Amino acid sequence: MRASDRAYRKLLDEIVAGELPAGTVLGEVEQSERLGVSRTPLREAFNRLAADGMINAEPGRGVVVSQLSLETVTELYEVREGLEEQAARLAAQRADKEVFKKLWDEFENSKSLILGGELGANVFYELNAKFDDAIDEAIQNPYMVTTLKNVRNHMARVRKLARSNPARLLEAASETQLIVEAIATGDAALAAHATHVHLHKSHSRVSAAVREQLAKLNKEVA
């Protein structure tokens, strides 16, 4: 694997995981030494991250990990709404229905697991990743897939900032299951509307969690 790829992957992981929090200033020399690569591949990684919207190059000061706020979360959801409703519609028209029928069963079977504490969250996230992959495969639109992937990276970052409780995860799983059902039956309109509903509720849940998190951070400062 290329050094620039390693640097990109590592930095992206660390940003998404919150190990490099929003506002962190990244120097070229500093980071190239830390990651064990020279400045050339590191700059390549920086450029890709900037194209992803994960960092912003501030004139003179270096690159800064981009901010996360209630506003940016809302912006993200507005894009998701447009993109994922369309994706759900297309998937309903084009998907291999068997794949989504099996996925529906998996959602059904995992419901009890999701409520079961710490491990439950992992089950949920793995299932969601499977759902995303199935969508990508179904829509047969590489351009849309790359756009979706970027959105998902940003969402992963938001989720890490504010993890949800099992009850909320189960709620989200049920909403997603309805989308899966709509796609499995080829009901494009329902797939789009169910996605709208899911995103609306998800936005509420995530906003609440982020609000709490930000309040906690402010408390610590005070």
Footprint of DNA (CB under 7 A):
2-5, 27-30, 37-41, 43-44, 57, 59-63
Tally of residues, the chain: 222
* Least distance CB 5 / DNA (angstroms): 7
Helix (H, G, I), strand (E, B) or coil at 116: coil
Residue 6 or 43 having the CB closest to a second copy: 43
Residue 154 or 168 having the CB closest to a second copy: 154
Q: What is the DSSP letter of 2?
A: -
Residue 44 or 96 having the CB closest to a second copy: 44
The option from DNA, a second copy, none interacting with 39 (CB < 5 to 8 A, set by class) reads DNA
Determine the Cα–Cα distance for residues 84 and 203; give it in Å rounded to an integer.
14
Q: From residue 67 to residue 96, what is the string marking binding to a second copy with x (rule CB under 8 A)?
A: -----x--xx-xx-xxxxxxx--x------
Phi–psi pair at 187, nearest 5 degrees = -95, 90
Task: Please state, as a whole number, how many other Cβ atoms lie within 10 Å of the Cβ of residue 152.
Answer: 16
Q: From residue 100 to residue 139, what is the string marking binding to a second copy with x (rule CB under 8 A)?
A: ---------------------------------------x
Interface with a second copy includes 144 (CB under 8 A)? yes
Residue 47 or 185 having the CB closest to a second copy: 47
Considering only 36-44, 156-164, 165-173, 212-220, which stretch makes contact with a second copy by CB under 8 A? 36-44
The option from DNA, a second copy, none interacting with 117 (CB < 5 to 8 A, set by class) reads none
Give yes or no for a contact between 205 and 168, defined as CB atoms under 8 angstroms apart. yes
Interface with a second copy includes 217 (CB under 8 A)? no
Q: 52: closest CA among 132, 157, 136?
A: 157
- Which residues 40-59 are close enough to bind a second copy by CB under 8 A? 40, 43-44, 47-48, 51-53
Find the angle CA(171)-CA(131)-CA(201) to the nearest 5 degrees.
Answer: 30
- Residue labelled with tokens 């930000």: 214
Determine the Cα–Cα distance for residues 87 and 69; give it in Å rounded to an integer.
26
The option from a second copy, DNA, none interacting with 41 (CB < 5 to 8 A, set by class) reads DNA
* Radius of gyration of the chain from its Cα atoms, rounded to whole angstroms: 19
State the first-to-last Cα distance of the chain, in angstroms, to the nearest integer: 45
Task: Please state, as a whole number, how many other Cβ atoms lie within 10 Å of the Cβ of residue 94.
Answer: 15
Q: Which residues bind a second copy (CB under 8 A)?
A: 40, 43-44, 47-48, 51-53, 72, 75-76, 78-79, 81-87, 90, 139, 141-144, 146-147, 154
